[in-house]
Amino acid sequence: MIGEMSRIVRTMTNIIFGFIVVFGFYVIAHGHLSPGGGFQGGAIVASAFALLLVTYGTEVIQQYIAKDLLSVIESTGLILFGSFGFLGISATYFYNIVANSGGLFGSPTVIGVNPGDLNTSGTIALMNIAVGLEVLAALGVIVLTMSAAAEIIQNKEKS
Amino acid sequence: MKKPIFILAFIFFAAFMFMAAIDMRPFGEPARSEMDDYFIENAQVQASSNNVVTSIVFDYRGFDTLGEGTVLFTAVIGIVALFREVAK
Amino acid sequence: MSPLVSFAHIAVLVTLVIAAFLAVTLRDLMSSVIALAAASLLLALEYYLLHAPDVAIAEAAIGAALSTAIYIFAVRATRR
Rounded mean pLDDT of A54-79? 87
Task: State the count of interchain CB pairs (< 8 A) between A and B.
Answer: 108
CB contact under 8 A, B80 and A141: yes
Closest by Cβ to B48, choosing from A31, A35, A99: A99
Give contacts of A66 with chain B, Cβ < 8 Å. none
CB contact under 8 A, B59 and A39: no
CB atoms within 10 A of CB A67: 15
A73 at the B interface (CB within 8 A)?
Answer: no
CB contact under 8 A, B68 and A33: no
Q: Say yes or no to pLDDT of C39 above 60.
A: yes
A85 at the B interface (CB within 8 A)?
Answer: yes
User: Nearest CA to A106 among A115, A118, A94, A119?
Assistant: A119
If you average pLDDT over every residue of chain C, what do you get?
90
B56 at the A interface (CB within 8 A)?
Answer: no
Give CA–CA dist A142/C66, Å, rounded. Answer: 10
CB contact under 8 A, C53 and A1: no
Rounded mean pLDDT of C20-43? 92
8 A C-beta contact, residue C44 and residue C64: yes
Instruction: Write the pLDDT tens digit of every residue in B56-79.
Output: 888 888 888 889 889 999 999 999
Give contacts of A147 with chain C, Cβ < 8 Å. 69, 73
CB contact under 8 A, A149 and C77: yes
Residue ranges of domains in chain B: 2-87
Looking at per-residue pLDDT, the higher value among A153 and C17 belongs to: C17
User: Nearest CA to A134 among A64, A51, A41, A23?
Assistant: A41
8 A C-beta contact, residue C57 and residue A27: yes
ipTM for the predicted complex comes to 0.84
With CA atoms as reference, the chain C residue closest to A57 would be C73
Phi, psi of C70 (to 5 degrees): -65, -40
Give CA–CA dist C16/C22, Å, rounded. Answer: 10
Listed in sequence order, the residues at least 6 apart from A28 whose beta carbon sits closer than 8 Å to its beta carbon are: A36, A37, A38, A41, A42, A45, A128, A129, A132
Which residue segment(s) compose the domain that C51 sits in? 3-77
- The pLDDT assigned to A38 comes to 86
- The pLDDT assigned to C80 comes to 56
Closest by Cβ to A33, choosing from B51, B72, B80: B51
Give contacts of A143 with chain C, Cβ < 8 Å. 66, 69-70
Looking at per-residue pLDDT, the higher value among A23 and B28 belongs to: A23
- The pLDDT assigned to B19 comes to 92
- Render each residue's pLDDT in chain B as its tens digit; 88 residues: 789 999 999 999 999 999 998 888 877 677 767 888 888 888 888 877 888 888 888 888 888 888 988 999 999 999 989 888 776 6
User: Nearest CA to A46 among A135, A148, A146?
Assistant: A135
A49 exposed, middle or buried (CB, 10 Å; 0-12, 13-18, 19+)? buried
User: Nearest CA to A37 among B42, B69, B73?
Assistant: B69
8 A C-beta contact, residue A123 and residue A98: yes
In Å, how far are A129, A138, C41 from C13, measured between CA atoms?
35, 32, 12
Least confident of A110-124, A139-153, C12-26: A110-124
Predicted confidence band of residue A123 (pLDDT cuts 50, 70, 90)? confident
Give contacts of A154 with chain C, Cβ < 8 Å. 76-77
8 A C-beta contact, residue C1 and residue C7: no
